[in-house]
Amino acid sequence: HKLNTFGKCSFEHDKPFSLCSVLDGKGSLICNAKEYQLNKGCNFIIPATIDNFNLDGNLEMIISHI
């Protein structure tokens, strides 16, 4: 599904995995007390071992999962 964020957003994660692609914007992924910078063109996987995460910034993303 398509996701747009503006500022800090918290998410619960209960999928086997999620494939994430940043279509536009910039921000950060905060997960397990670590921060990862995101910008247009970034792709990343959120594995099943992650129960929750935060996104901060203005991001347009596609997130795919089963």
CA distance 40 to 22: 5
List 29's β-bridge partners, or say none. Answer: 36, 55
* Contact in structure between 5 and 61 (CB atoms under 8 Å): yes
pLDDT digits (tens, 9 = 90+) for 11-62: 999 999 999 999 999 999 999 999 999 999 999 999 999 999 999 999 999 9
Q: Which residues contact 15 (CB under 8 A, 6 or more apart)?
A: 46, 48, 65, 66
Confidence (pTM): 0.90
pLDDT digits (tens, 9 = 90+) for 20-32: 999 999 999 999 9
List 25's β-bridge partners, or say none. Answer: 59
Question: Using only C-alpha atoms, what is the Rg of the chain?
Answer: 11
